[in-house]
A and B are shown apart, each in its own frame.
Chain A
Amino acid sequence: MNLKHLAIGVVCSLGSIPVVGLLLQQLAEAAPNDIFFGWDFYIEVVVTGLLQGVMYALVALGFVLIFKASAIFNFAQGAMVLFAALAMVGFIEMGLHWTLAFLLAAVVMIIVAILIERVVLRPMVNQEPIILFMATIGIFFVLDGLGQTIWGSNVKALDIGISQTPWFVLQGEFFPGGLRLIPTEVVAAVVGALTVTLLAVLFQYTKVGRALRAVADDHQAALSVGIPLKFIWAIVWSVAGIVGLVAGVMWGTSLGVQFSLSLIALKALPVLILGGFTSIPGAIVGGLIVGVGEQVGEVFIGPLFGGAIQDWFAYMLAMIFLLFRPQGLFGERIIERV
Chain B
Amino acid sequence: MAQAAVQVDPQGDALLSVQNIEVIYDHVILVLKGVSLSVPERGVVALLGANGAGKTTTLKAISNLLRAERGEVTKGSIHFGGKRIDRQTPHELVQQGVIQVMEGRHCFEHLTVEENLLTGAYTRRDGHKAVMQDLEMVYRYFPRLKERRGSQAGYTSGGEQQMCAIGRALMSRPRMILLDEPSMGLAPQLVASIFETMKRLNEDEGVTFLLAEQNTTVALKYASYGYILESGRVVMDGAADVLSANEDVKEFYLGLSGSGRKSYRDVKHYKRRKRWLA
Residues of A within 8 A of B (CB): 2, 125-126, 207, 210-211, 213-214, 216-228
Contact B90 A211 (CB under 8 A): no
Chain B residues near A216: list those with CB within 8 A: 110
Cβ 8 A contact of A223, one of B68, B120, B168: B68
Residues A210 and B102 in contact in the complex (CB < 8 Å), given A220-B68, A225-B94, A225-B169: no
B123 at the interface (CB under 8 A from A): yes
Distance of A213 Cα from B91 Cα, bound (Å): 17
Contact A226 B70 (CB under 8 A): no
Q: Which of A213, A214, A216, A222 has the most CB of B within 10 A?
A: A214
Chain B residues near A214: list those with CB within 8 A: 108, 111, 119
Chain B residues near A126: list those with CB within 8 A: 68-70
Residues A226 and B110 in contact in the complex (CB < 8 Å), given A211-B119, A220-B65, A220-B102: no
Beyond contacts A210-B115, A213-B115: 11 other A-B pairs, Cβ-Cβ < 8 A, are A126-B68, A214-B108, A217-B110, A217-B111, A220-B68, A221-B106, A221-B107, A224-B65, A226-B122, A226-B172, A227-B91
B266 at the interface (CB under 8 A from A): no
Chain B residues near A222: list those with CB within 8 A: 108, 119
Contact B68 A225 (CB under 8 A): no
Chain A residues near B93: list those with CB within 8 A: 226
Contact A226 B118 (CB under 8 A): no
Contact B109 A223 (CB under 8 A): no
Cβ 8 A contact of A227, one of B65, B100, B119: B119
Could you write out 10 A-B pairs with CB less than 8 Å apart? A217-B111, A220-B68, A221-B106, A224-B100, A225-B123, A226-B122, A226-B123, A226-B172, A227-B91, A228-B89
Contact B108 A226 (CB under 8 A): no
Chain B residues near A210: list those with CB within 8 A: 111, 115, 118-119
Chain A residues near B120: list those with CB within 8 A: 225
Chain A residues near B107: list those with CB within 8 A: 218, 221
B95 at the interface (CB under 8 A from A): yes
Distance of A216 Cα from B172 Cα, bound (Å): 20
Least Cβ distance of A227 to chain B in Å?
A: 5
B207 at the interface (CB under 8 A from A): no
Chain A residues near B94: list those with CB within 8 A: 225-226
Cβ 8 A contact of B108, one of A217, A223, A228: A217
Contact A217 B109 (CB under 8 A): yes
Residues A207 and B68 in contact in the complex (CB < 8 Å), given A218-B106, A225-B94, A226-B93: no
Chain B residues near A224: list those with CB within 8 A: 63, 65, 90, 99-102, 106
Binary contact track B56-80/A, C-beta < 8 Å → 1, others 0? 0000000101001110000000000
Q: Which of B89, B94, B122 has the most CB of A within 10 A?
A: B122
Chain A residues near B108: list those with CB within 8 A: 213-214, 217-218, 221-222
Question: Interface of chain A, helix or strand or loop or mixed?
Answer: helix
Least Cβ distance of A220 to chain B in Å?
A: 6
Chain A residues near B123: list those with CB within 8 A: 225-226
Distance of A222 Cα from B107 Cα, bound (Å): 9
Residues A211 and B122 in contact in the complex (CB < 8 Å), given A126-B70, A220-B68, A226-B93: yes
Cβ 8 A contact of B122, one of A213, A217, A218, A227: A227
Distance of A126 Cα from B109 Cα, bound (Å): 22
Residues A226 and B169 in contact in the complex (CB < 8 Å), given A210-B118, A217-B108: no
Contact A207 B122 (CB under 8 A): yes
Contact B65 A223 (CB under 8 A): yes
Chain B minimum-CB-distance residue to A227: B122
Q: Which of A207, A210, A211, A225 has the most CB of B within 10 A?
A: A225
Chain A residues near B89: list those with CB within 8 A: 228
Chain B residues near A217: list those with CB within 8 A: 108-111
Contact A226 B102 (CB under 8 A): no
Least Cβ distance of A76 to chain B in Å?
A: 24
Least Cβ distance of B242 to chain A in Å?
A: 32
Chain A minimum-CB-distance residue to B110: A217
Chain B minimum-CB-distance residue to A231: B91
Chain A residues near B68: list those with CB within 8 A: 125-126, 219-220, 223
Least Cβ distance of B104 to chain A in Å?
A: 10
Chain B residues near A226: list those with CB within 8 A: 90-91, 93-95, 99, 122-123, 172
Contact B70 A220 (CB under 8 A): no
Cβ 8 A contact of B111, one of A213, A219, A220: A213
Chain B residues near A211: list those with CB within 8 A: 119, 122
Chain A minimum-CB-distance residue to B168: A225
Chain B residues near A228: list those with CB within 8 A: 89, 91
Chain B residues near A207: list those with CB within 8 A: 118, 122
Least Cβ distance of B93 to chain A in Å?
A: 7
Chain B minimum-CB-distance residue to A204: B115
Least Cβ distance of A154 to chain B in Å?
A: 46
Distance of A271 Cα from B278 Cα, bound (Å): 59
Chain B residues near A213: list those with CB within 8 A: 108, 110-111, 115
Least Cβ distance of A223 to chain B in Å?
A: 5
Least Cβ distance of B119 to chain A in Å?
A: 5
Chain B residues near A223: list those with CB within 8 A: 65, 68, 90
